[in-house]
Chains A and B, each alone.
Chain A
């Protein structure tokens, strides 16, 4: 038997030993073998997401933020709204980790309260948008024809409404509070999600497997639940991760112009607005912490959304 080395080198047919000239055992599996192991869609997507360092750090940040939003205020000996006027504008120290604000309130405690508000508003807005959007877009895309036409005309008109202006108007009428903010944000917010869901449903509706279940006489609601939804999940999840930061931004924006969460509740937007005057006098920490956390929370959601988009898009599968 010749060594591997020699076999690789170019050599003439006469050097090939005679005993190699016999028919090979038929190996059916080898011919059909798929070169790469096939992973399920979700496992595969997860693997790709884990590889994306930026998206993963966004996710870790959000997990830590959520934990701190829950336990942060408990860790701190101070109350959110206890004003200690003699402690006004204390720089960060062992007693006040993030310093104190113009009313002597502990910025550390207030920051985590703000995180609660922001995450709550963001998640609630996303959940409501998604629920309404899926139902509306799903029905519109699935029914098609006249129903779809009318439903999409309505969406088109709502889509043309200037989002934040409508939110402002609603808040002026309803009066600012946590509930009314979420209502105002979602009144027109679901429209984008409905469009995406409809587009997905239209695309998938004509796939073979859906036609097949239809021809077996499966009920519409069951087809939507069992076939359409799992296949539209990718873009929905991505849209959700992008809805959260825009809702967080909107809440902070509204608080900033005086239409958001009202005292005594602390929100990042309220804190940023309160500290506008303070930075001119050099008390940077009052602005820095809420600003940092708003920006990084939005950043984390954005990179996570990007990462999910790349991970869930089967077109990019390599």
Chain B
């Protein structure tokens, strides 16, 4: 399968007057053409920073991509000039933001904001732009597009606004769409509609999607593959099936246990105790050690290597080491 995006060893740091925050610490992942990759994790784990890094939208200063490569269709975006990035943003890669209430400029009409990107990148006439905009509004399911074009954002509901944001992102027909928590700020019923819209759009346009979320319900619905992030690192990746049925990392297991499920009624919900580490001075070992129910001494000392469980499923955890497996078997035996 053709890889549209390949991220290798990405590091992002933020310099604040309290010190340097290492927000993303060596992230590797790739995205195949036409698939949906979900990046899952708690807030502050670096998933939004990663997506902003791909768009090169990290405010510099204080932020900086300090190492690594982001290859989009073979060319490294970390080395691209700002001018080149402008020709990529909105055209090849588009982005959808979390809160549709703030993502639209309150003083400009919807039509202006829709057509703006198109007119920036493709030299089209006003009439052609209008036609395309109407087409997009129709695609994302906004009734009466002709009248609605002349209205301002505050005249739309949250769900409608998110549809407009999606239309804006898709109007130049990008190959990659990055959706940063696209449903978090919406009502549950609207969430489902928006997720269905994503599926429909992907079928219609073949766009590849990176979905940033903390909501495993969203992931279960539309993701093909999942990357689980914790404290600036990807700790486990796999297909939806790998992650939901065979989670190997204790953190992934914890995440799944903390989500209420209808099919497992009666089973207790178990929250993960504690809080993620401070990224001013991240631990040198596995960052999850302090909260991990299986923490060993080695976990504090050394970051675990990548264990390849199958072609699609990879995990970074010391529990994969044969010695750890022996230890666990022993303790389980002694308790029994």
Contacts and interface: CB of A to CB of B under 8 A. Distances in A.
B268 to A, nearest CB: 20
Given A21-B323, A35-B280, A318-B16, A27 B298 contact: no
Interface stretch (A6-14, A186-194, A200-208): A6-14
Given A30-B290, A31-B290, A35-B278, A22 B327 contact: yes
A30 B288 CA distance: 12
A13 B318 CA distance: 9
A56 B220 CA distance: 56
Interface in A1-46: 7-8, 11-13, 16, 18, 20-24, 27, 30-32, 34-36
B297 A20 contact: yes
Interface in B295-336: 295-302, 304-305, 318, 321, 323-324, 326-327, 331
B274 interface: yes
Contacts of A35: 277-278, 280
Contacts of A318: 16-18
Nearest to B277: A35
Interface residues of A, number: 20
Which one of A12, A16, A318 has the greatest number of beta carbons of chain B within 10 Å? Answer: A16
Contacts of A30: 290
A31 B280 CA distance: 16
Nearest to B305: A13
A21 B294 contact: no
A31 B271 CA distance: 14
B289 interface: yes
Contacts of B107: none
Given A13-B305, A318-B16, A318-B18, A21 B296 contact: yes
Interface string B26-65: 0000000000000000000000000000000000000000
Contacts of B327: 21-23
A21 B324 contact: yes
Interface residues of B, number: 31
A16 B297 CA distance: 11
Contacts of B297: 20-22, 24
Given A21-B296, A22-B327, A318-B16, A31 B273 contact: yes
Nearest to B272: A31
A262 B50 CA distance: 69
A18 B278 contact: no
Nearest to B280: A35
A206 to B, nearest CB: 21
A7 B278 CA distance: 21
Contacts of B17: 318
B144 interface: no
A24 B277 CA distance: 18
A9 B294 CA distance: 25
B274 A23 contact: no
Contacts of A23: 294-296, 327, 331
9 contacts: A13-B305, A21-B323, A22-B327, A24-B300, A27-B290, A30-B290, A31-B274, A32-B274, A318-B18
Closest 9 A/B residue pairs (Cβ): A31-B274, A35-B278, A20-B298, A24-B295, A21-B323, A31-B290, A20-B297, A30-B290, A31-B291
Given A16-B298, A32-B274, 19 more contacts: A7-B284, A7-B302, A8-B284, A11-B302, A12-B305, A21-B321, A22-B327, A23-B331, A27-B290, A31-B273, A31-B274, A31-B290, A31-B291, A32-B273, A32-B275, A34-B275, A35-B280, A36-B278, A318-B18
Interface of A: 7-8, 11-13, 16, 18, 20-24, 27, 30-32, 34-36, 318
